Structure 1
Amino acid sequence: MSAWCCVVIIVTSISTGCLSPAPMNAEIKETYDRHYWYAQAQETLQKRLQYATGKNPVAKNVILVVGDGMSLTTTTAARILRGQRRGQSGEDTDLVWDTFPAVALAKTYNVDAQTGESSACATALLCGVKARYETLGLDAGGRFNNCASAINSKVTSLIDWAHEAGKSSGIVTTARITHATPAALYAHAPSRYWEDDSRVPPTVRRDCKDIAMQLVENEPGRNINVIMGGGRRHFLPTVTADPEHPTREGRRLDGRNLAEDWAREKKRRHLRAQYIHSKEQII
């Protein structure tokens, strides 16, 4: 990966709270597919660009930092706490991103729920398309737990766009790499819970890959340069002990060790790649 310079850091949030999905029989207007949101985004962008002066700068690199669950009220509380710890009143204290030259807000609601959850909110944030409750990387055509609905509802993400622009890419998360928020960058699933094949209904396992398998086999996952996160159990079969916790086993039912499959696939493509699982291996 090329050296990081001219870096733009964007801090965003996915709001969570008391989950309140709309009634399941609520119908979503047909206009709310991916094309509706793409058109709306372009219209909004053009309105903003009319106020730009001179040449539009182009970032060489972009780092997107997602604080999952970090709502406006959470950041307000953080501001106050930071200030009061310094002996100030708190409300007038700045956090780092308050000093950025540009700050914006993004709506990440679900099309069938006022208070969203991670997968559909991450789809809105990372793919630019509003989605249905507990679906991942799909537009409103995708239905929860409905494999067939995912076939024609898949949307592209920031990772896809970066690869199209010739950029290297990476995902670093403190959660499972197959968790709903980071998975929106590479996976398309009618359920955020399909992290390995044991969670996918047996009747649709041939048609809908689990999230871990998509990361290893599908675009754009198989071409991501750096992947750091937890959730190893979703990549290991049930008969394989965890390398760091021997009393624990993987959860896959297909017998595949996806970590080894990932390494072999990179070797077949003559790519330099290594799978590591400990701090000692990193340093």
Structure 2
Amino acid sequence: MEEKSPAFWNQKAAKALDIAKKLQPIQTSAKNLIIFLGDVTATRILKGQMQGHLGPETPLAMDSFPYMALSKTYNMDRQVPDSAGTAITYLCGAKANYKTIGVSTAAWFNQCNTTFGDEVISVMCCAKKAVGRSGDHHISTAGTYAHTVNCDWYSDAEMSASAVLNVCKGIATQLISNVDTDVNSKNEEGGLD
């Protein structure tokens, strides 16, 4: 396999460096932002394996875009992250603990009293008007509006009695209370009619 040769990696790095040196800086402000989220998909690995390679280093089309920023997504208390923690990284610019959403690392899983005062602000909260769907309460998108110490608390039914007593809110409740949405819009699961 070509990946085993140091020359393979050196040539790959040299080619990427040559391309980067030829880029001309853009002097104007960006008008749009596109986020490619490959959360828990292993797309890169599958593509590589289908081509007979190892997989993790297989380039995808987006890797050839001339201007790109990457975000390292991981939990502070786990080496392998969950979708909740990765969402906070790319939506809030902060790291989070395992299975928490919209709160800093000062908040701990299932400890409702650590939620308050440890909320982080997402790009959705900063945006004047959200574009596209906002009616999804999956943990990947819940990072745009929810603040919870347990990503499994989709509704009050999943919450512990102590969480309810501590006035914690389920993710679905926070979708309604934390986001200025058109209640007639639909999400991919049928939405809020």
Query: TM-score, normalised to structure 2's length?
Result: 0.72
Identify the match of residue 222 of structure 1 among 163, 174, 180.
180
Equivalent residue, structure 1, for 2:35: 64
1:54/1:65 Cα in 2 relative to 1: closer, same or farther (>3 Å)? closer
Instruction: After TM superposition, give the deviation of residue 170 of structure 1 in Å.
Output: 2.8
Equivalent residue, structure 2, for 1:78: 47
CA distance in 1, matches of 2:124, 2:60: 28
Q: Which runs of 4+ in 1 moved over 3 A?
A: 51-54, 89-95, 223-227
Instruction: After TM superposition, give the deviation of residue 141 of structure 1 in Å.
Output: 1.1
Matched, 1:137 2:102: yes
Q: Given that residues 178 and 231 in structure 1 are in contact (C-alpha distance below 8 angstroms), is that contact kept between their aligned partners in structure 2?
A: no
1:95/1:209 Cα in 2 relative to 1: closer, same or farther (>3 Å)? same
1:204/1:215 Cα in 2 relative to 1: closer, same or farther (>3 Å)? same
Equivalent residue, structure 1, for 2:141: 182
Identity, in percent, stands at: 30
Matched, 1:159 2:124: yes
CA distance in 2, matches of 1:128, 1:100: 22
1:223/1:52 Cα in 2 relative to 1: closer, same or farther (>3 Å)? farther
Aligned residues: 168
Q: Given that residues 135 and 189 in structure 1 are in contact (C-alpha distance below 8 angstroms), is that contact kept between their aligned partners in structure 2?
A: yes
1:116-148 per-position Cα deviation (integer Å, ceiling 9, x unaligned): 111112111211110111111100111111111
Which runs of 5 or more structure 2 residues have no equivalent in the other structure? 1-22
Equivalent residue, structure 1, for 2:171: 211
Which runs of 5 or more structure 1 residues have no equivalent in the other structure? 1-50, 233-258, 260-274, 276-283
CA distance in 2, matches of 1:64, 1:204: 33
CA distance in 1, matches of 2:117, 2:24: 37
Identify the match of residue 158 of structure 2 among 195, 199, 219.
199
Which is strand-richer, 1 or 2?
1
Amino acid at match of 1:125: Y
Query: TM-score, normalised to structure 1's length?
Result: 0.51
